[in-house]
A and B are shown apart, each in its own frame.
Chain A
Amino acid sequence: MLAVANHLTYLLLGLGGGAAIAVLALGLVVTHQASGVVNFAHAALGSYAAFAYSSFRQTGRLVLPVFGVPDIDLGGVPTTLTALVLVCAVAGLCGAFLAIVVYRPLRPASPLARLIASLGVLLYLVSVMSLRFGAQGSTSLVIDPVLPTHLVRITDDVVIYADRLWLAGIAIVAGLALSAVARFTRFGIATRAVAENERAAAMLGIRADLIAVGNWVAASVFAALAMILAAPITKLSPIQSSLLVVPAIAAALVTRFRGILSTVLVALAIGMAQSELLNLQVTVDWLPDVGLQQGLPLIVILVALALGAGPTPARGALDTVRLPSPYLPPWAGAVVVAVMGVAAIVTWTGSSEWRSAVIISCIGAIAALSVVIPTGYTGQITLATSAFAGISAFTLVKLAAGWGIGFPWAPILAALVATAGGVVIGLPALRVGGLNLAMATLAASLAVEQLVFGWSWFTGGVEGTLVPPAHLFGIDLDIAALGDDYPRRAFGLMVVTVTAVLLMMAVTFGRSATVRRWLAVRGSERAAAALGISVSRVKLAAFAMSAFVAGLAGALTAYQRQTLSVRSFDSFAAVVAVAIAYLAGIATPLGAMAAGVLASGGVLTLLAGSDASRYQFAVNGVLLVVAAIMLPDGIVGRLTRRPRAHGTRRRGRSRRPSTP
């Protein structure tokens, strides 16, 4: 009985964490139903509101989330209610702004474009919080609790703060209320209609724009309230608070962004499970010390997705939904040869800085190519490329240092191991697609990061691990060299050569019959299947090829960095890689090459100078949003548009819809 009571205690103690996740997950579901966006910036907007509320209650000045706009000064410290109302009003206005200015133009865009836009908003808001309230977060702000904080005795063994119970209750009641609104009100029914089939809803006279604005305002106010109420529990930090969106997405993912109340219950269960796992970790000797609390829920989510979800229904949109054009101009190969030739010359004759920049750009191009293959050619959005790169890099060290396998076999074998991982992580693609697949691959990547990279035998654990240098036919391919000889020219030329070969192979592959079959799957899986194309095989092949290329990028990264640790391949680096690839042009190898130029520390960084502006991250965020709206084909796509044939006219929007 004592053991049972002990487990019950920890499950109940997890209510607070679960409730914080639950209230955020509610808003995520609402915005997704309204406009098909998985809003990565949801918790960030709420966090801004919580910062603004605490600051407002302390100083009497309401900080607005726009640089250059002066604070609103009421001339005194506001009451709790006044502060709540004003901050929520600002949050609601932000929601309306996002709905109208950012996401309305993106309605005909691919889910990937909306994802990129939400990342941009997220970066901007994190920057606002860091610069306006301080990167150290709640250590510099007194958090003013709104909910009662006295202790409540639930059983003889369980005592809990009242605010945890209140928050859990609010989450459940709000879930019930929103479910009722969705089921019984005209607004809710209209929202569901838009979510199910926007085109049909429009024919019934439902204005999707207004519905979206209403839902965005409601979700933003809800995010603000959620974070203000939860801040005394979770504390405030620009980044950590914004990252609460990850478990919230996980909860919504299990219900596939559909069930409101069920999402709340899943979120509460995640919080309670994590609390119990903490208990088990301390009391059960054989359980691993690392990764369990974060990794296990992700595994559960993946299993739930794989077993419980059927194929994702297409969301009928008013306009055609399209991915960036995969058009490859006839001169693409010549451009690759020319650019890589210049890279080789710079590597041989350039200064140390230029050699470093070219090497980083080349590895960035290969990483981007691993995104282009599944996303550009088959429409499968993957956010797991960092996991593949990491698996390959750590395998390389094992092969080279442990088993004495040298270059180039070690990186090739390592990339093949990553390929196997790619097939496994690609399995969800057989059942889900679009944003659900993106989220599933992100969850898988996080699980790999927590459970595989946390395995010290494999990664060297906290000690880190040294990467043995490469040699080929007596040539020293180690990057290390003294003074201006770093990075060694031979290493640079090796990286340039590998990049050039991969890009040329990708250009050739991009014109092959195989890719035409892949593009058929991208255009319409049903039509492709009707033509006798094995959709499953195409998807898995794309994931495998992507993982192999990412694995090569990981191996080269290992050689370039010389040391690796458990933190070397972070899952969010893959999200960043996708964002850069999107900006450059995610559908062709030329886009991948351009993404390499844009990579951090690469050629563009060198040209722009390394002195980062205070507003660099905010500017980056705005640029991502603008790119998502204005450059759906990316920079390269804009430059290499397919010329129209003489004597033809486009009829309306002739492009085929595709819903990755």
Chain B
Amino acid sequence: MGRTAFGALASAAVLLAGLAACTEGSAGTDSTVVSTSPPAATEPATTEPATTEPAAETTAPVIDDGSVLAQFAGQQWAFGTVADGATAADTSAEPIVIGMINQENSPVGSFPELRFAVDAAITWINTELGGVNGRPIRLETCITSFSVEQSQACAQELVQQGAVAVISGIDITSTGSLPVLEQNGIPMISAIPTTLAEYRSTNVFSFSGCVTGAYVAFAADAHAKGATSIAFAYGDFESFSVPATEYGARVAESLGMEVTLVPFPITTTDFLPVVQSIIDSGADAVTIGAADTACVPVMTILHDFGYDGLQYLVGACAAEEILKQVPDDIQAGVVFNSEGPPIDDDATPSALDGELFQAVIDRYATGPGGGAGTVSFRAMLNLWSVLTTLDEPTPAGIATAMRATVNAPSFWGHPFTCDTKQVPGFPALCSPQQTLFRLPDDTGTVEGVSDGWIDVPALLADAAG
């Protein structure tokens, strides 16, 4: 009967929603509102930025008619200048096998959009970007549906398929796949890490800061705005509690703020007591980590109970379908996090990335690839950029190249540094930098709150020092 423990991790459903803090929020996922600025304090990348120019050794024909690249020729994107025309990979060359584990058809959530986005990215790479130095990429996908054993079997299957790297879309049971991949030295590129095991693994690379980055950014912004106390309310689940207590609270304390912790069961029926507890703490600012089902009641109750401090919620709460349930005057007072480029600044090279993403999805996706698909698309493109720097992609070579990255360009996100030191204790997080935004009125306008990127690693280093 499969792993029918539907309730077995009710927590898992909660977890998934909250971990959408790893995504760009509505500001980031809506290409019409994305505008970017140069990343703050970025150093030249140590990896060679991949370009879309045809690889010298390939003899593949140029397809410059009707390609996605042709629409954006000559413009700057994350990895340089967009080529004038498409270059197909050499189909006779031995393909490079990339594995993907993704959770679908599970009652705790099904996320095919992450697979569709990766599939579209690979088709684009093979069709227009010349593959990896001429070699095509072959995607081997294994679907897991909420079972540790299934994830374990998926990892083993991908080992036998000869995968040189494995992209994990969303897999709540990655504790099954991680040991197998680690033992075989195959790096995991995690689009949306969902377990602490992923955060803590040196074999995992994620171009995100997730809830941890969000909490630190919230504390820093609250301090900058004059708050002297902050309450961290979080669902009693490890992927919320550790980022709140070990990172967000620590940074807040290092900034001289008084911290109140309000843990609550992830199966909380009514958020009224939780919000009352926050208000009773007298904190100047509050941040809440919970499932997306908590977004509407938390925003509403805080407003109705007259809370006049700063309010911070993860970017997942800024989803259009959530915000339409919250009156404009209430949502206007809330600040959300994003991992997309800063708002109101269009000079960054990745300004074009949002439009490229949409064009690629429109052209090559075999199913809906939007929403969280932006994150897996980014993971695949960043992996591709590293692969192009290698003569012969091997698992060990990829892992080494990843670990050597310093401010390597990232598709539609902050440049990444996978030196395992960006977030102490969470070596997998390569680009925890955040931006903050708010939605001031009902016109759909997105207003940047932070001044460019919030340097989460620097804040964590200061707190540790």
Residue ranges of A at the interface with B (Cβ–Cβ < 8 Å): 6, 9-10, 13-14, 16-17, 20-21, 122-123, 126-127, 130, 135-143, 151, 159-161, 164, 233-240, 242-244, 246-247, 271, 274-275, 278-279, 281-282, 289-291, 293-294, 352-353, 356-357, 360, 461-464, 480-484, 486, 561-563, 565-568, 570-573, 575-576, 579-580, 583, 598, 600-602, 605, 610-614, 616-617, 620-621, 623-624
Contacts and interface: CB of A to CB of B under 8 A. Distances in A.
Contacts of A17: 268-270, 273
Interface in B102-155: 104-110, 142-143, 145, 147-150, 152-154
Contact of A482 (B183, B197, B236, B263): B183
Contacts of B11: 567
Majority secondary structure of chain A interface residues (helix, strand, loop or mixed): helix
A559 to B, nearest CB: 12
Given A20-B270, A580-B1, 10 more contacts: A17-B273, A21-B269, A123-B6, A141-B321, A239-B107, A291-B236, A583-B1, A601-B3, A612-B143, A624-B1
Contacts of B179: 480, 561-563
Interface residues of B, number: 81
Given A462-B238, A463-B196, A616-B2, A486 B183 contact: yes
Nearest to B304: A151
B13 interface: yes
B5 A290 contact: no
Interface stretch (B28-36, B210-218, B287-295, B341-349): B287-295
B160 interface: yes
Nearest to A122: B6
B13 A237 contact: yes
28 contacts: A13-B272, A122-B6, A126-B107, A135-B106, A136-B17, A138-B296, A160-B272, A164-B270, A164-B272, A239-B10, A271-B270, A282-B280, A282-B281, A289-B241, A289-B261, A290-B241, A356-B153, A464-B196, A464-B197, A481-B183, A486-B180, A565-B196, A566-B238, A568-B148, A576-B4, A598-B1, A601-B152, A623-B1
Contact of A563 (B175, B262, B265): B175
Contacts of A142: 324-325
Contacts of B277: 10, 278-279, 282
B248 interface: no
B264 interface: yes
Interface of B: 1-11, 13-14, 17, 104-110, 142-143, 145, 147-150, 152-154, 156-157, 159-160, 175-176, 178-180, 183-184, 195-197, 200, 236, 238, 241-242, 260-265, 267-270, 272-274, 276-277, 280-281, 291-297, 304-305, 319, 321-322, 324-325
B153 A294 contact: no
A135 B104 CA distance: 11
A483 B184 contact: yes
A278 B150 CA distance: 37
A275 B276 CA distance: 10
A241 B265 CA distance: 14
A561 B147 contact: no
B182 to A, nearest CB: 9
B156 A353 contact: yes
A617 B1 CA distance: 8
Q: Which 7 pairs across A and B sit closest by C-beta, in order of nearness?
A: A601-B149, A462-B238, A17-B269, A16-B270, A275-B273, A17-B270, A235-B293
Nearest to B269: A17
A601 B150 contact: yes
Contacts of B241: 289-290, 462
Contact of B269 (A16, A289, A464, A617): A16
A516 B299 CA distance: 63
Contacts of B270: 13-14, 16-17, 20, 164, 233-234, 271, 275
Contacts of B276: 9-10, 13
Contact of A356 (B106, B152, B295, B296): B152
B6 A486 contact: no
B321 A612 contact: no
Contacts of A571: 8
Contacts of A234: 269-270
Given A126-B107, A139-B292, A610-B153, A600 B1 contact: yes
Contacts of A598: 1
Given A235-B294, A235-B297, A486 B153 contact: no
B193 to A, nearest CB: 14
Contacts of A353: 153, 156-157, 160
In this complex, which of B157, B276, B294 has the most chain A Cβ atoms within 10 angstroms of its Cβ? B276
B238 A565 contact: yes
A6 B236 CA distance: 23
Contacts of B184: 482-483, 486
B204 to A, nearest CB: 14
B3 A576 contact: yes
Contact of B196 (A16, A123, A462, A484): A462
A164 B10 CA distance: 24
Contacts of B9: 567, 570
A151 B142 CA distance: 50
B107 A617 contact: yes
A74 B279 CA distance: 45
A481 B322 CA distance: 47
A527 to B, nearest CB: 36
Contact of A579 (B1, B109, B242): B1
A20 B325 CA distance: 21
